[in-house]
């Protein structure tokens, strides 16, 4: 496409179907202890 | 729901419900803006006719249509349908924050543990309580395999023998229970020795090292009890930890306050010292403290995030790349929707344990008597608190439901909301503004990295 470059497609739709396994790290354990932020967490089950 | 913004020369469009992110040219940016407020294609092409040529406009319309068909633009919210089942989901405890020591060897001005003591007396967790906590986690984690234990304080190194004992105890149970423990520790670095560093490197999945940045900034807020700064004391040790872990699986973690609104310089200072994993975050403090961030600080803080983002690009070009925790974003294989809806999991999946073994929804609730949920001896008693936290999600908070950043943020910090409003279903607007700015910067950096532009 000429006017748009897509950085990421519809990632959330896919994961809604899959549901959550809960194996990933709790967000406040990773560094900060003061805010939640989930966007930077990594999925343990991405395949 | 769409969120669009310009950063430097880049036009960024986020389709919130699908998670899609597009970089568009000026014309498409304008078209999407007009579509979002409900203008028809005819109205749009008429209003643009004297700026762009007709064929180009038509071509852009086609591209918009394609994105819509591919469910990457103007997608609808299909999440409300899952909210009810979501609230009733079974949860298990998968992470504990162990308050190994309610005592500290520094007297940091902004510490929410109030110099390590958490509204109570100085105290140390015994190995017996620690073991009981491990058993509690093993018995309450259902089929969850990865379990997390964070050694927190006060300053956990003041009670390091117990840390060692707990690690040993938990590891001995891994095979029998088919679990995998991930240990993390948060320390101010004062008591680090070669031996302790070795133990940490052998056993800890992540280590968080507290340092605020420039010496004068750090020393102002992080003095020793006799009032001297602690920067010189800890820096060599923190550098040693970072190097000995090959610059991975650790964070240097600082706090910025009203005293250092130019905090980007603190981040860059840490990067210049050679640290590669950096997290510097806004202080959480009651409004009446002199060092608390104020609403009028926001424009300066936004500029600082912009400045930091540009600087990070320069550092990368010069081969001095580093990670800034809150600018990290996983757009492709990030967390599933259910994780994004639950956020931090405080009070359900994640609990804090005091030195005495009492259970609280998270480390920031420790000491708030009516949020005490039970004890590692005897287990969870206040199921009402658990239910309250479990029901708290993106779609139970009005502010979050209508917020474009919700799937990146996860719904903010419940403790923050409780401290300011006495209600975990509120959000703290200052934190939201900063969160949204960081998400914008993170996506911008990702786009620059991906498209090499
Ligand atoms: S930024 Fe604020 S309003 Fe938006 S999702 Fe996060 S906590 Fe909720
Ligand atoms: S309530 Fe706040 S401090 Fe507690 S775990 Fe959640 S994000 Fe972290």
Least confident of B108-122, B248-262, B273-287, B385-399: B108-122
Residue B36's CB is within 10 A of a number of other CB atoms, namely 15
Answer whether B362 contacts ligand 2 (Cβ < 6 A): yes
Residue to substitute in B1, B16, B398, B400 for testing ligand 1 pocket (most ligand atoms within 8 angstroms of CB): B400
pLDDT band of B117, cuts 50, 70, 90: low
Q: How far apart are CA B174 and CA B181, in angstroms?
A: 7
The C-alpha of A32 sits at a distance from chain B's nearest C-alpha, in angstroms, of 7
The set of residues, in sequence order, having a beta carbon less than 8 Å from that of B195 and lying 6+ positions away, is none
Q: Does residue B406 fall inside a structural domain?
A: no
The residue range of the domain holding B19 is 2-76
Under an 8 Å CB criterion, which residues of A touch B?
Answer: 1-13, 15-16, 18-46
Residue to substitute in A29, A30, A32, A35 for testing ligand 2 pocket (most ligand atoms within 8 angstroms of CB): A35
Task: Give me ligand 1 centre to Cα B413, in Å.
Answer: 9
Helix (H, G, I), strand (E, B) or coil at B183: strand
pLDDT digits (tens, 9 = 90+) for B70-97: 999 999 887 777 777 777 778 899 999 9
CA distances (Å), origin B385, targets B315, B389, B423 = 46, 6, 12
Q: Does residue B416 fall inside a structural domain?
A: no
Q: Are residues A2 and B59, on separate chains, in Cβ contact within 8 Å? A: yes
pLDDT band of A25, cuts 50, 70, 90: confident
The C-alpha of B18 sits at a distance from chain A's nearest C-alpha, in angstroms, of 5
Q: Count structural domains, chain B.
A: 1
What are the tokens at B348?
A: 């359900």
Specify the ligand 1 atom closest to the Cα of B406. Answer: 5
Q: Does residue B53 fall inside a structural domain?
A: yes
Q: Does residue B41 fall inside a structural domain?
A: yes
pLDDT band of A47, cuts 50, 70, 90: very low
pLDDT band of B287, cuts 50, 70, 90: confident
Mean of the pLDDT values across residues B107-134? 83
Residue A24: the pLDDT is 79
Nearest-CB residue to B325 (from A32, A38, A42): A32
Q: Does residue B157 fall inside a structural domain?
A: no
Q: Are residues B339 and A32, on separate chains, in Cβ contact within 8 Å? A: no
The set of residues, in sequence order, having a beta carbon less than 8 Å from that of B436 and lying 6+ positions away, is B403, B404, B405, B409
Q: Does residue B257 fall inside a structural domain?
A: no
Q: Which residues does chain A have within 8 Å of residue B82's beta carbon, measured at their own beta carbons? A: 16
Q: Does residue B54 fall inside a structural domain?
A: yes
Answer whether B127 contacts ligand 1 (Cβ < 6 A): no
Residue A35 has pLDDT above 70, yes or no: no
CA distances (Å), origin B309, targets B132, B316, B336, B440 = 45, 11, 26, 10
| Closest by Cα among B132, B204, B133, B138 to B175 | B138
Q: Does residue B392 fall inside a structural domain?
A: no
Residue nearest to atom 2 of ligand 1 (CA): B432
Share of chain B above pLDDT 90, in %: 81
pLDDT digits (tens, 9 = 90+) for B207-243: 999 999 999 999 999 999 888 999 999 999 999 999 9
Residue to substitute in B344, B410, B426 for testing ligand 2 pocket (most ligand atoms within 8 angstroms of CB): B344
Interface TM-score (ipTM) > 0.95: no
Q: How far apart are CA B445 and CA B327, in angstroms?
A: 8
Q: At what angle do helices B231-244 and B194-203 cross, to 10 degrees?
A: 40
Compute and round to an integer the Cα radius of gyration of chain A. Answer: 14
Residue A18 has pLDDT above 70, yes or no: no
């Amino acid at each position: 496409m000429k006017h748009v470059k897509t950085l990421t497609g519809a990632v959330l739709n896919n994961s809604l179907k899959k549901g959550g396994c809960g194996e990933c790290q709790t967000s406040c354990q990773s560094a900060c202890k003061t805010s939640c932020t989930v966007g930077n967490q990594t999925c343990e089950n991405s395949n | 729901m769409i969120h669009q913004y310009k950063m430097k020369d880049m036009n960024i469009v986020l389709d919130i419900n699908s998670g899609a992110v597009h970089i568009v040219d000026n014309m498409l940016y304008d078209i999407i803006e007009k579509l979002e407020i409900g203008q028809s294609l005819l109205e749009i092409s008429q209003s643009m006719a004297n700026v762009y040529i007709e064929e180009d406009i038509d071509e852009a319309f086609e591209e918009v249509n394609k994105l819509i068909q591919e469910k990457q633009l103007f997608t609808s919210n299909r999440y409300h349908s899952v909210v009810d089942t979501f609230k009733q989901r079974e949860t298990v405890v998968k992470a504990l924050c162990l308050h190994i020591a309610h005592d500290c060897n520094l007297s940091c001005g902004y510490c929410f543990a109030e110099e390590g003591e958490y509204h109570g007396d100085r105290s140390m967790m015994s190995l017996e309580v620690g073991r009981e906590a491990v058993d509690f986690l093993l018995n309450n984690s259902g089929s969850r395999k990865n379990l997390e234990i964070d050694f927190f304080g006060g300053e956990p190194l003041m009670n390091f023998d117990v840390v060692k004992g707990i690690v040993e105890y938990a590891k001995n149970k891994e095979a029998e229970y088919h679990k995998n423990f991930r240990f993390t520790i948060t320390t101010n670095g004062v008591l680090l020795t070669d031996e302790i560093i070795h133990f940490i490197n052998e056993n800890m999945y992540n280590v968080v090292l507290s340092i605020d940045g420039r010496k004068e900034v750090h020393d102002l807020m992080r003095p020793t009890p006799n009032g001297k700064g602690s920067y010189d004391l800890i820096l060599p040790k923190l550098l040693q930890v970072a190097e000995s872990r090959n610059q991975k699986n650790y964070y240097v973690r600082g706090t910025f306050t009203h005293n250092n609104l130019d905090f980007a310089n603190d981040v860059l200072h840490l990067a210049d010292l050679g640290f590669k994993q950096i997290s510097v975050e806004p202080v959480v403090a009651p409004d009446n403290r002199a060092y608390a961030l104020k609403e009028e600080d926001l424009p300066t803080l936004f500029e600082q995030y912009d400045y930091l983002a540009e600087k990070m690009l320069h550092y990368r070009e010069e081969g001095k790349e580093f990670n800034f925790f809150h600018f990290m974003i996983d757009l492709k294989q990030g967390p599933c929707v259910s994780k994004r809806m639950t956020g931090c999991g405080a009070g359900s999946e994640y609990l804090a344990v005091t030195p005495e073994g009492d259970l609280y929804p998270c480390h920031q609730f420790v000491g708030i008597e009516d949020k005490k949920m039970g004890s590692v001896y005897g287990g969870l008693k206040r199921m009402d608190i658990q239910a309250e936290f479990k029901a708290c999600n993106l779609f139970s908070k009005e502010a979050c439901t209508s917020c474009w950043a919700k799937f990146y943020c996860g719904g903010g910090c419940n403790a923050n909301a409780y401290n300011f409003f006495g209600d975990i279903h509120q959000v703290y607007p200052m934190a939201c503004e900063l969160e949204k700015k960081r998400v914008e910067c993170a996506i911008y950096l990702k786009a620059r990295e991906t498209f090499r532009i």
